[in-house]
């Protein structure tokens, strides 16, 4: 059984009600492969989740961009995994580099979050990726392996996890990883899973790429054997997101 292609759209901290409605209209009108061929998941800011849940076509799914690390309670400003489950949000993005680097979330904290979100029945898009400095010093594989280990240490099943490789130097920079650069890291991550989790998990877990993916570069990236889809930032707010979904074919 092959791995089903996965295309996520991370809207980050963008959008107004009117803009959200426009994006949804484009997505709802789009001709794309069936849900048997590709999983499409859009991730609006928390405040727009109910609107997106109510308007979005039923073959596309919704993700939150973060959630709290434990059960909710006295944690001002946080949104818990239970709340997302209660709202009917099936997916959550955890460990995005913007949270690791700007909000100082550690790998151990992210591992705890992934484990808690899974325990509440959510599916997780877990992100890893190296900075430019780390790439230039030759530590890319060590960095992404350690980030993956911090997650693997806390979870007992990878069934509901998609791993997103997002090199920090490629995010929002227009500097996309070459297909060969992406394939090399994806293959190493799969090897890490094989050696440290199991052969079955290595074979079945989808490893998706994020970082300056657009309608023009997606097809070549999608052709790489260990690349099972995308996590798209900027281009997920534009009609070309539909072209990226169609790169699944
Ligand atoms: O961070 C990303 C997706 O999570 C990628 O962002 P860009 O596609 O804007 O580079």
pLDDT in tens, 92-145: 999 999 999 999 999 999 999 999 999 999 999 999 999 999 999 999 999 999
Residue 84 pLDDT: 98
Quick one: pLDDT at residue 1?
58
Whether 212 is in the pocket of ligand 1, judged by its Cβ within 6 Å, is yes
d(CA 202, CA 230): 18
Atom 7 in ligand 1: residue holding the nearest Cα: 233
Regarding the beta carbon of 65 and ligand 1, being less than 6 Å apart is answered: no
Q: Is the per-residue pLDDT at 91 higher than 90? A: yes
Residue nearest to atom 8 of ligand 1 (CA): 233
Structural domains for the chain: 5-246 (3.20.20.70)
CA of 234 to the centre of ligand 1 (A): 6
Alpha carbon distance 208, 154 (integer Å): 21
- C-alpha 186/C-alpha 210 separation (Å) is 12
Mean pLDDT of 4-21: 98
39-54 pLDDT, tens digit per residue, is 999 999 999 999 999 9
Measured CA to CA, the distance from residue 72 to residue 179 in angstroms comes to: 41
**pLDDT over 90 percentage in the chain:** 99
ipTM of the complex: 0.99
Secondary structure of residue 7 in the 3-state scheme: strand
Q: What pLDDT, on a 0 to 100 scale, did the predictor assign at position 68?
A: 98
Catalytic annotation on 166? yes
Instruction: Please write the tens of the pLDDT for every residue from 170-198.
Output: 999 999 999 999 999 999 999 999 999 99
Q: What is the pLDDT of residues 61-74, one digit of tens each?
A: 999 999 999 999 99
- Residue 106 has what pLDDT? 98
* SS3 (DSSP) at 158: coil
How many angstroms separate the alpha carbon of residue 215 from the centre of ligand 1? Answer: 13
Q: Read off the pLDDT band of 22 (50, 70, 90).
A: very high
Mean pLDDT of 215-243: 98
What's the CA gap between 184 and 170, in Å, rounded? 15
Question: For the chain, what's the residue count?
Answer: 249
Residue 246 scores a pLDDT above 90: yes
Active site residue 96: yes
């Amino acid at each position: 059984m092959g791995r089903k292609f996965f295309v996520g759209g991370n809207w980050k901290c963008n959008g107004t009600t009117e803009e959200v409605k426009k994006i949804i209209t484009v997505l709802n009108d789009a001709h794309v492969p069936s849900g048997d061929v590709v999983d499409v998941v859009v991730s609006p800011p928390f405040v727009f989740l109910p609107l997106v849940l109510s308007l979005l076509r039923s073959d596309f799914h919704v993700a939150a961009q973060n959630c709290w690390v434990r059960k909710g309670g006295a944690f001002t400003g946080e949104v818990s995994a239970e709340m997302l489950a209660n709202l009917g949000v099936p997916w959550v993005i955890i460990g995005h580099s913007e949270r690791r680097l700007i909000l100082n979330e550690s790998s151990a904290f992210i591992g705890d979050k992934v484990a808690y979100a899974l325990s509440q029945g959510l599916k997780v898009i877990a992100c890893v990726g190296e900075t430019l400095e780390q790439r230039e010093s030759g530590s890319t594989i060590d960095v992404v392996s350690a980030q993956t280990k911090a997650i693997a240490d806390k979870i007992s099943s990878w069934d509901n996890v998609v791993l997103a490789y997002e090199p920090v130097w490629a995010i929002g920079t227009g500097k996309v990883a070459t297909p060969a650069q992406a394939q090399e890291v994806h293959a190493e991550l799969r090897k890490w899973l094989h050696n440290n989790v199991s052969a079955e998990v290595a074979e079945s877990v989808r490893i998706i790429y994020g970082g300056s993916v657009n309608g023009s570069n997606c097809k070549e990236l999608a052709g790489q054997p260990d690349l099972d889809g995308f996590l798209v930032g900027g281009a997920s707010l534009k009609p070309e997101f539909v072209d990226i979904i169609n790169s699944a074919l």
